[in-house]
Amino acid sequence: MILSRGQILPNKEQESIIKNLPYFLLDTLKKPNPITIEKVIQACDTIAQKVLKGDYNDFLKPLLAQLDYSEADFGAATKLFTKEALTYKCQIELGTLEPYNGTVKRQRYPLGVLFHIAAGNVDGLPAYSVLEGLLVGNINLLKLPAGDQGLSIFILSELIKIEPDLAEYIYVFDVPSTELESLKQLAVLADAVVVWGGDVAVQAAKDMVDIKTKVIAWGHKLSFAYATLGSTDEQLMGLATHICETNQLLCSSCQGIYIDTDNRDQQDRFAKRFFDIFNNVNNNFKPVPNELRAGNAIHLYNEQLEEHATKNKIFIGQGCSVISKDDAELELSYLFRNVWIKRLPRNRIIDTLKHHKSHLQTVGLCVEEHDKLALSNEFAKTGLVRIYTGRTMSRTLPGEAHDGTYPLREYSRVVEIE
């Protein structure tokens, strides 16, 4: 299904809509009274309150069960759409535009048209990406990720029902990534392409646009935890809970744990300690589906076969694993509750991580209180932009930056008028 000018339509209408889209966009851009931040915020708050009251439960409960998305997590995400959260977000991100001497007026305008190429690793993220574009007055074209279950179209169509003026600012398309011609048609209409994805997706977006079109890239990133030998069981339980909740699928998810030691025996003892905690915590969660665990079973079997040569030490439980490794390279894990553990003494943090540059996002600290400030400073120097506890690595707060940058500033421009 697709969404165009407030109507949910079958995919067969897509080609016709894309053909006529240039005329629709120009008509909207010419309007003397564009949408306002206040209208967008009020519409979002109305739908958030309806969700929190359970007005949409008939649709949402089966969908959340299908997505394995807890009601608590969805409730926390919904609160990002409330008036309080969005007002704070706009205040923080947009700030004030007071002129230096009063002779020049500064005013913020939208970029114009944003083409969002969304990722599918966070349910509802495509809709939130569009919302951020709306907040500064942009027209938004959204490419749904593969496997989208309808949540984004539901949220956006409900917003339009609440505030009909939003209809011509939201278009949702179900274009496969292989249909390059259709994607290029959409990209050429945009002032900026907003792409959520890894290096391949970002490069593909850059290849698709000409020099006049801005590319704004978010993710994919790598995140990890850092622990000292004095970390508490409570801290490690919180980290294990985070890993089980996210299945390591988010940019902010812990892929592995670095230990503040240069001693392999201490590393392996810590790995066994964390594995015992991890295994117990994992038993409290719904198991990862067999089809997702099958690939990891092969990886882990190969790890065991090569254990003698690699010097890795492997701990395998019921649906989770820990691999104690002999190198310090930051890498993606096998995902789905499979964690690596490596040595990284604090005096080697910058040397080891700095070359990863823009791939870094979150570190979850499981350390003593007196170490937090010094270690936070070290990690900030490497390029990490979120420094949290292990339990809260994937927590999202109103006004939080995307990968160290405020999106509303990226989606707008400042015009100076004398």
CATH of the domain at 310: 3.40.309.10
| Total domains present in the chain | 2
Q: Alpha carbon 176 to chain centroid distance?
A: 21
* 343 plus 376 within the same structural domain: yes
Tokens of 210: 């000409």
Contact status, residue 311 vs residue 224, Cβ threshold 8 Å = no
Query: Would 329 be classed as within a structural domain?
Result: yes
pLDDT, tens digit, for every residue of 205-245? 999 998 999 999 997 899 999 999 999 999 999 999 999 99
What are the two backbone dihedrals, phi and then psi, of residue 167, each rounded to the nearest 5 degrees? -55, -45
Residue 348 has pLDDT above 90, yes or no: yes
Domain housing 320: 222-389
Q: pLDDT tens across 31-68, in order?
A: 998 999 999 999 999 999 999 999 999 988 887 777 66
- Is it the case that residue 15 has pLDDT exceeding 80? yes
Q: Which of 106, 157, 133 is nearest to 35 (CA)?
A: 133
What confidence category does residue 109 fall into, taking pLDDT thresholds of 50, 70 and 90? very high
Extract the tokens encoding 146. 């593969």
Structure tokens at 50: 């309806």
- In this structure, of 5-14, 222-231, 270-279, the range with the lowest mean pLDDT score is 5-14
Give how far Cα 406 sits from Cα of 377, 400, 412, Å. 21, 8, 11
Q: Is residue 130 part of a domain?
A: yes
Residue 396 inside a domain? The answer is no
Q: Are residues 211 and 254 in the same domain?
A: no
**Mean local confidence (pLDDT), 304-324:** 91
| Residue 194, number of CB atoms within 10 A of its CB | 28
Indicate whether 196 pLDDT > 90: yes
Average pLDDT in the 236-263 region?
96
Predicted confidence at residue 77, as pLDDT, reads: 84
User: Is the CB of residue 204 less than 8 Å from the CB of residue 198?
Assistant: no
Beta-bridged to residue 140, according to DSSP, are: 114, 170
pLDDT of residue 302: 87
Q: Could you tell me the CATH number of the domain that includes residue 152?
A: 3.40.605.10
Q: What's the pLDDT score for residue 68?
A: 67
> On the CB side of 281, how many CA atoms lie within 13 Å of its CA?
24
For strand 7-9 and strand 2-4, is the pairing parallel, antiparallel, or unpaired?
antiparallel
Which candidate, 182, 170, 216, places its Cα nearest to that of 8? 170
Spatial distance between the Cα atoms of 60 and 47, rounded to a whole number of angstroms:
13
- 305 pLDDT more than 90: no
State residue 214's pLDDT score.
95
* CB neighbour class for 226 (10 Å; exposed up to 12, middle 13-18, buried from 19): buried
How many angstroms separate the CA atoms of 383 and 403, rounded? 10
Q: Tell me if 274 is assigned to some domain.
A: yes
Q: In this predicted structure, what is the pLDDT of residue 122?
A: 75
Q: Report the pLDDT value the prediction gives residue 206, as an integer from 0 to 100.
A: 92
Which string of DSSP letters, residue by residue, matches 232-255? -HHHHHHHHHHHHHHTT-STTSEE
106 with 179, same domain: the answer is: yes
Min mean pLDDT across 67-71, 325-329, 392-396 is at 67-71
Helix, coil or strand: residue 33: coil
What pLDDT score was predicted for residue 123? 74
Residue 276 lies in a domain: yes
Q: Kindly state the average pLDDT of the residues 313-334.
A: 95
Q: Does 212 share its domain with 268?
A: no
For residues 59 and 155, give the distance between their C-alpha atoms in angstroms, rounded to a whole number.
11
* Three-class DSSP category at 118: coil
φ, ψ dihedrals at 327, nearest 5°: -115, 175
Would you say the pTM of this structure is higher than 0.85? yes
Worst-scoring range by mean pLDDT, 148-152, 317-321, 400-404? 148-152
Mean pLDDT value across the chain: 93
Per the CB < 8 A criterion, the answer to whether 321 and 300 are in contact is yes
pLDDT at 177 over 80: yes
**Are 267 and 343 in contact, with CB atoms under 8 Å apart?**
yes
